[in-house]
Amino acid sequence: MKLILLTLFLSSVLFAGNTSRRVFENFHTAYQKGDFNELDKILSDDFIAIDENGQIVSHKKDYLAYLKQWSKTFNTEWNVSDIVEKKDTIFSTEFDKDIFADYLYNGNFKLRYTYIFSNNQISSMRWDTLPGYAEKKQIFDYKYSLFYVWTSKNHPDKLIYFNKTNAIAAEEIKAMLEEYISTLNNKT
């Protein structure tokens, strides 16, 4: 009897782990496909995203809006590696690949993500920095300030978009960044 109970327990643990992994993979697949209806189903209603400082930066509605508006506009490719699964938690190393990250971070800006699962959905996502963050942040701050100054000189009316994450802001920032990079390339 003890052996049967132990077998059932281990089977349930293994099944639960596989479910989290499947939800995790479905989340990233839906993101890559731009399937925001599926993303809505995958994230729990009480979903929260937490930054590296432990601050809640968004809830489900805002997070989905961000993905839909900002990441979609930038055609962001979300790269995932080093996946480790423990019960209802998955850890991974991830980075975005798009014009914004490639230019402002010199590409390959990696973060360590932690996903918590509950009832076959993602209930929270947290990202933390990895070694090398300080150097990447320094590069970002420098390049971002140059881009901001260029925008203030060439498109002062568009500075309002630097503090927004909606679709219009994403389109405006992307267009200005493409113009800015083109200007830099023409100077060399």
Q: What is the pLDDT of residue 153?
A: 97
| pLDDT value, residue 47 | 97
Q: Who wins on pLDDT, 93 or 8?
A: 93
Q: What is the pTM of this model?
A: 0.80
Show Cβ contacts of residue 132 under 8 Å, excluding neighbours closer than 6 positions.
110
Residues 111/94, Cβ–Cβ less than 8 Å: yes
Is the per-residue pLDDT at 177 higher than 70?
Answer: yes
**Residues 161, 162, 166, 172, CA torsion sign:** positive
Is the pLDDT confidence value at 64 over 90? yes
Q: How far apart are CA 49 and CA 119, in angstroms?
A: 18
> How is domain 2-187 classified at the CATH fold level?
Nuclear Transport Factor 2; Chain: A, (3.10.450)
More confident residue, 132 or 119: 119
96 alpha-carbon distance from chain centroid: 7
H or E segment and range at residue 112:
strand 110-118
Query: pLDDT at position 158, please?
Result: 95
The burial of 27, by beta-carbon neighbours within 10 Å (0-12 exposed, 13-18 middle, 19 or more buried), is given as: buried
- In this predicted structure, which of 62-66, 76-80, 107-111 has the lowest mean pLDDT? 107-111
Helix (H, G, I), strand (E, B) or coil at 154: helix
Which range is least confidently modeled, 26-35, 104-113, 153-162?
104-113
Domain boundaries, the chain: 2-187
Is the CA virtual torsion 33, 34, 38, 43 positive or negative?
positive
Q: Is the pLDDT of residue 163 over 90?
A: no
Q: Where residue 18 falls among pLDDT bands split at 50, 70, 90?
A: low
Q: Please check the confidence at residue 4 and state whether its pLDDT lies above 70.
A: no
What residue spans of 67-130 are helical by DSSP H? 72-73, 99-104
